[in-house]
Chains A and B, each alone.
Chain A
């Protein structure tokens, strides 16, 4: 069997490419470290010198505002130098290959590459070709993985629910195209959540999804019953009106989260969303802004989690 390319010879985190395959201890180490950074972000001087003198390259081959910004803030709070590259509009359009781009940036003394790419597996390719002291952090690749989002979701769940081993979690919506869902599901099963459900029409579920360790529901009301955590997924507009879904209205009727449906979950259930939200498509505003929603805290926790990941890989 191949060695997990994100772990070094000592089993420590060299790159963060996917939550799948990460040992429980590594996940807990990241969450614990993030906990310690959560305090930093509330201080007046929000900086620690852990990455002083290091360079973090934000390599976004696909547009993103939120993820890129939170990585930038996290790197700056660790005192790193941050360089943002919006490759979607620069070298790629000039025909430069992915590996050439990385080799060039590597020649500029990079320490950490934060990579977002539309193709599943692109960060694995980069990780195979960087120098031993360089680290790659996957900021979302195709439909495959979005490990820092998954980790911040886990952090949020742990913050509000403490113990994973009694939780029922429902992930609702476009699982087929969702890297967020895949990463979160792997994280939850690794940390011992006894019941992870996915709720979606057949057209939005990848084949063999049960093999990820989830229970499949097509009826949202049945799936929501007694859930502790409800995770809504973003549904992109381009999925509408084709062969996957007839319309946003019909989708909202069957799979949109409303206050009425949320009553089926546990009274203390939390509602999460990786953003950006489509109000009125997958989630009703009364729920998104309501007392169960932890959507904004998720964003705040995201900074601490990304600080944790960067400081851990840079230290290994």
Chain B
């Protein structure tokens, strides 16, 4: 299939280019010119951007098919313009053996939607005791290793895991949360949790763990990506670590640059997230750090939860929120608030995560894979849970008036979504 996309506004975050132009696609790649395209798409009024790359989207397979299936979540991904996603290993069983990873990749491939990059478990069953066969898992397709949201309390195991991963040059993606300090907590330890009588997770649960992690990076040289920063203190530590040229990067979730603990309102279980929504000051620091580049990229942290998991008292609710279809409008909202050019905003969900994932996509240049999102940045979008393709309808943004609608998504030159 060869394609000609005409009249679009081409935005290439990697080069910063933004202007009208045409794009030609053949054999799954962007090409310089094309004589007789099989299809022409008129992108008048639309932005043509590299497809979005999401560093954390839970597809819930294997094991949690009652919460979501690969089919539903891959539909959600392309409806949101997401052409590549990394999925964390906290499935059931966890992604700790090559057979599982292989099966997941094959299933995902057969659906012909977005590209799926599995993150392997760092320790067997995510129990934080024994290392997984990382080399085997990498061969099966794992691009990095992680504990998802399961804490690794034993620093001896953490140290060894980082050493082992560093030996082979495997990246390790970890959340920074001290298991003991966070134990039992369900909300940010502060005024709001105090008022609501919810057990708190102090902000320093993140900085204590991050300090430890950074010290182990210094010792081992492991490449570490820190997932879902939530505090101003962690931003400061990352700033210093990067100035020191440690091999580290980090991301933040869409909820944490827009919301804070006050949004819990009267115990809104949709705001039960991991890490918890923190103070206004933390949220502002995260938003600013994402603009300044201390935080490398923005991810949806897509976590579909079924209704039963949320129709319970706040502390008993299952953490997580749906996000794949909200990544673009929430990124645009953030970029607008920070007064960034569109290319800079989109970089946080295209070229920057591509760099961390180590993939060639996310460029509008001849030779690059034709993974594209065509969207109308001004089209209003009222967040309506029932209208989401994802099986997870749980989002604190329900009812929000946002802007930005994906009109078409192209993966490897094939149009996989059109609206």
Which A residues fall within an 8 A CB radius of B?
Answer: 2, 5, 20, 97-99, 117, 119-122, 124-125, 141-145, 179, 182, 206-209, 211-212
**Given contacts A97-B308, A207-B189, A207-B200, are A119 and B194 in contact (CB under 8 A)?**
no
B380 at the interface (CB under 8 A from A): no
Quick one: which of A97, A121, A207 contacts B267, CB cutoff 8 A?
A: A121
B197 at the interface (CB under 8 A from A): yes
B189–chain A nearest beta-carbon distance, Å: 5
In the docked arrangement, what's the CA distance between A274 and B191, Å? Answer: 24
- Chain B neighbourhood of A208, CB < 8 A: 190-191, 194
In the docked arrangement, what's the CA distance between A168 and B251, Å? Answer: 49
- Chain A neighbourhood of B308, CB < 8 A: 97
Are the CB atoms of A5 and B266 closer together than 8 Å? Answer: yes
- Chain B neighbourhood of A121, CB < 8 A: 196-198, 266-267, 313-315
Q: Which residue of A lies closest to B203 (CB)?
A: A207
In the docked arrangement, what's the CA distance between A97 and B313, Å? Answer: 11
- Chain A neighbourhood of B195, CB < 8 A: 20, 182, 211-212
In the complex, given contacts A5-B266, A119-B316, A121-B313, what are 11 additional A-B residue pairs having Cβ atoms less than 8 angstroms apart? A97-B311, A98-B312, A119-B312, A119-B313, A119-B315, A120-B198, A120-B315, A182-B195, A207-B189, A207-B200, A211-B194
User: Interface residue tally of chain B, by bracket?
Assistant: 20 to 34
B265 at the interface (CB under 8 A from A): yes
In the docked arrangement, what's the CA distance between A51 and B312, Å? Answer: 31
B398–chain A nearest beta-carbon distance, Å: 13
**Given contacts A5-B266, A207-B202, are A125 and B197 in contact (CB under 8 A)?**
no
Q: Which residue of B lies closest to A144 (CB)?
A: B197
In the docked arrangement, what's the CA distance between A20 and B191, Å? Answer: 14
**Given contacts A2-B265, A211-B194, are A117 and B189 in contact (CB under 8 A)?**
no
In the docked arrangement, what's the CA distance between A125 and B308, Å? Answer: 13
B194–chain A nearest beta-carbon distance, Å: 4
In the docked arrangement, what's the CA distance between A98 and B196, Å? Answer: 20
**Given contacts A121-B267, A209-B194, A212-B194, are A98 and B200 in contact (CB under 8 A)?**
no
In the docked arrangement, what's the CA distance between A207 and B191, Å? Answer: 7
In the docked arrangement, what's the CA distance between A212 and B265, Å? Answer: 16
- Chain A neighbourhood of B315, CB < 8 A: 119-121, 142
Quick one: which of B190, B311, B316 contacts A207, CB cutoff 8 A?
A: B190
Are the CB atoms of B200 and A97 closer together than 8 Å? Answer: no
B193 at the interface (CB under 8 A from A): yes
Q: Which residue of B lies closest to A98 (CB)?
A: B312
**5 nearest A-B pairs in the assembled complex, by CB-CB distance:** A144-B197, A121-B267, A143-B197, A119-B313, A206-B194
In the docked arrangement, what's the CA distance between A241 and B266, Å? Answer: 34
Which B residues fall within an 8 A CB radius of A?
Answer: 189-191, 193-200, 202, 265-267, 269, 308, 311-316
- Chain A neighbourhood of B312, CB < 8 A: 97-98, 119, 125
- Residue with the greatest number of chain B CB neighbours at <10 A, chosen from A124, A209, A212: A124
- Chain A neighbourhood of B266, CB < 8 A: 2, 5, 121, 124
- Chain A neighbourhood of B197, CB < 8 A: 120-121, 141-145, 179, 182
- Chain B neighbourhood of A206, CB < 8 A: 193-194, 200
Quick one: which of B190, B196, B199, B313 contacts A125, CB cutoff 8 A?
A: B313
A115–chain B nearest beta-carbon distance, Å: 11
In the docked arrangement, what's the CA distance between A124 and B264, Å? Answer: 13
- Chain B neighbourhood of A98, CB < 8 A: 312-313
Are the CB atoms of A211 and B313 closer together than 8 Å? Answer: no
B67–chain A nearest beta-carbon distance, Å: 16
B324–chain A nearest beta-carbon distance, Å: 27
B260–chain A nearest beta-carbon distance, Å: 14
A208–chain B nearest beta-carbon distance, Å: 4
Q: List 9 A-B contacts (CB under 8 A).
A: A5-B266, A119-B315, A121-B197, A125-B269, A143-B197, A144-B198, A207-B202, A208-B191, A211-B191
- Chain B neighbourhood of A122, CB < 8 A: 313
Are the CB atoms of B313 and A207 closer together than 8 Å? Answer: no
Are the CB atoms of A120 and B313 closer together than 8 Å? Answer: yes
- Chain B neighbourhood of A2, CB < 8 A: 265-266
- Chain A neighbourhood of B311, CB < 8 A: 97, 99, 125
In the docked arrangement, what's the CA distance between A309 and B97, Å? Answer: 59
- Chain A neighbourhood of B196, CB < 8 A: 120-121, 144
B192–chain A nearest beta-carbon distance, Å: 8
In the docked arrangement, what's the CA distance between A153 and B199, Å? Answer: 25
B179–chain A nearest beta-carbon distance, Å: 15
**Given contacts A99-B311, A142-B315, A207-B200, are A120 and B267 in contact (CB under 8 A)?**
yes
A3–chain B nearest beta-carbon distance, Å: 10
- Chain B neighbourhood of A142, CB < 8 A: 197-198, 313, 315
- Chain A neighbourhood of B316, CB < 8 A: 119
- Chain A neighbourhood of B199, CB < 8 A: 143
A285–chain B nearest beta-carbon distance, Å: 31
A105–chain B nearest beta-carbon distance, Å: 17
Are the CB atoms of B267 and A125 closer together than 8 Å? Answer: yes
- Residue with the greatest number of chain A CB neighbours at <10 A, chosen from B191, B195, B197: B197
- Chain B neighbourhood of A99, CB < 8 A: 311
In the docked arrangement, what's the CA distance between A201 and B257, Å? Answer: 35
Q: Which residue of A lies closest to B200 (CB)?
A: A207
- Chain A neighbourhood of B198, CB < 8 A: 120-121, 142-144
- Chain A neighbourhood of B313, CB < 8 A: 98, 117, 119-122, 125, 141-142
